[in-house]
């Protein structure tokens, strides 16, 4: 019987074979093409390893919605004999991304080496945790977002190896904006050269909220660092909260210079002979209290119609530079 006739014969058969055992090699591709064989990883492995294997047939088979729905419910075999199937799946850059995700998710364990696949599939491997974290694999990832994600999802392993993993400032900034804990972000901040924060507004704006949410010692930060953090943070309430936390390392002149750059009414506090009114809020009450203690203002009191009235000195009375 000619091969074409055999294939046509299979199309009209209702029986679905459980395996390739005892099936002539020349029928293997037809069984997968017509889906006349049970959908199982064992059958995929037998076909992939057999003499009747046709790459185009297996690729089309794995993209079939019914096949995918069934196979994606079962873990890929983990023994040595099934390694060719696992390697075929993880290195398959031709599979559509959704199918690739469904199948690599069912791999029994991560691969040691990063695969030579496209960026989207590398991201899938990272998100599905199917590649081991190592300095070598971090270095192999070229996309900065994916590299930052790889570190974020494996931050404990990164900490143990971070002396082996050089990160540029863009990756560190991404980590500060990622989903790792504030405690972990503070470790990232500690590893950043302060001068880079001073010279990078976007980095400073990423650091600000983390410092505000953390318990910190102001004495650990230099005035130019503090200035950069405050001025590049948003919104205004965050700026004032940071100023409250860090003002002790600033001279009165430096405090005034920062206030002058902030929006009104805060900038008016830096001027002599002004009586600005600021909203009544916990951060503003703290602000007014230490401004008075440091004799940057003469007094403050509740305003008649709400808010806090700040009374500045009429002229410069301080000898501090």
Residue 278 belongs to some domain of the structure: yes
pLDDT at 47 over 50: yes
Residue 16: pLDDT band with limits 50, 70, 90: confident
Residue 320 belongs to some domain of the structure: yes
**When comparing pLDDT for 15 and 99, which is higher?**
99
Percent of the chain with pLDDT over 70: 94
Residue 107 belongs to some domain of the structure: no
Least confident range of 12-21, 40-49, 193-202, 278-287: 12-21
Residue 189 belongs to some domain of the structure: no
pLDDT at 91: 97
pLDDT at 319 over 60: no
Instruction: Report the C-alpha gap between 321 and 310 in whole angstroms.
Output: 23
Residue 297 belongs to some domain of the structure: yes
Question: Which residue range forms the structural domain that includes residue 273?
Answer: 268-321
Least confident range of 67-71, 102-106, 194-198, 268-272: 268-272
pLDDT at 108 over 50: yes
Residue 318 belongs to some domain of the structure: yes
Mean pLDDT of 11-28: 83
Tell me the average pLDDT of the chain. 93
Q: Where are the alpha helices (DSSP H) in 177-309?
A: 182-190, 194-199, 201-213, 223-232, 236-246, 252-261, 266-269, 282-293
Residue 321: pLDDT band with limits 50, 70, 90: very low
Residue 254 belongs to some domain of the structure: no
pLDDT at 306: 85
Residue 143 belongs to some domain of the structure: no
How many domains is the chain partitioned into structurally?
1
What's the predicted TM-score (pTM) here? 0.86
pLDDT at 71: 98
Q: Which among 33, 27, 35, 43 has a CA at the least distance from the CA of 85?
A: 43
156-173 pLDDT, tens per residue?
A: 999 999 999 999 999 999
∠ at Cα 294 (293, 297), nearest 5°?
Answer: 85
């Amino acid at each position: 019987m000619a091969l074409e006739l055999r294939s046509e014969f299979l199309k009209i058969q209702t029986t679905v074979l459980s395996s390739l055992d005892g099936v002539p090699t020349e029928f293997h591709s037809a069984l997968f093409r017509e889906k006349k064989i049970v959908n199982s990883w064992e059958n995929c492995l037998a076909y992939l390893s057999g003499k009747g294997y046709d790459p185009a047939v297996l690729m089309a088979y794995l993209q079939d919605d019914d096949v995918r729905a069934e196979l994606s419910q079962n873990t890929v075999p983990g023994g040595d004999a099934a390694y060719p199937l696992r390697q075929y799946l993880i290195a398959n850059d031709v599979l559509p991304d959704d199918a690739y995700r469904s199948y690599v998710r069912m791999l029994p364990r991560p691969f040691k080496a990063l695969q030579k696949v496209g960026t989207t599939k590398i991201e899938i491997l990272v998100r599905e945790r199917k590649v081991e974290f190592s300095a070598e694999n971090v270095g192999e990832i070229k996309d900065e977002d994916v590299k930052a994600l790889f570190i974020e999802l494996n931050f404990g392993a990164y900490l143990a190896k971070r002396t082996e993993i050089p990160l540029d400032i863009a990756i560190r900034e991404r980590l500060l904006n990622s989903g790792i804990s504030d405690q972990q972000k503070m470790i990232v901040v500690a590893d950043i050269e302060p001068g880079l924060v001073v010279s990078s507004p976007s980095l400073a704006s990423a650091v600000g909220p983390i410092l505000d949410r953390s318990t910190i010692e102001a004495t650990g930060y230099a005035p130019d660092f503090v200035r950069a953090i405050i001025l590049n943070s948003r919104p205004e309430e965050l700026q004032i909260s940071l100023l409250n936390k860090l003002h002790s390392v600033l001279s009165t002149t430096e405090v005034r210079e920062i206030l002058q750059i902030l929006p009104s009414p805060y900038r008016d506090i830096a001027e002599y002979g002004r009586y600005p009114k600021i909203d009544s809020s916990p951060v503003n009450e703290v602000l007014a209290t230490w401004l008075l203690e440091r004799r940057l203002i003469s007094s403050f009191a509740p305003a008649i119609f709400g808010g806090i009235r700040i009374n500045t000195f009429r002229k410069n009375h301080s000898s501090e530079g």
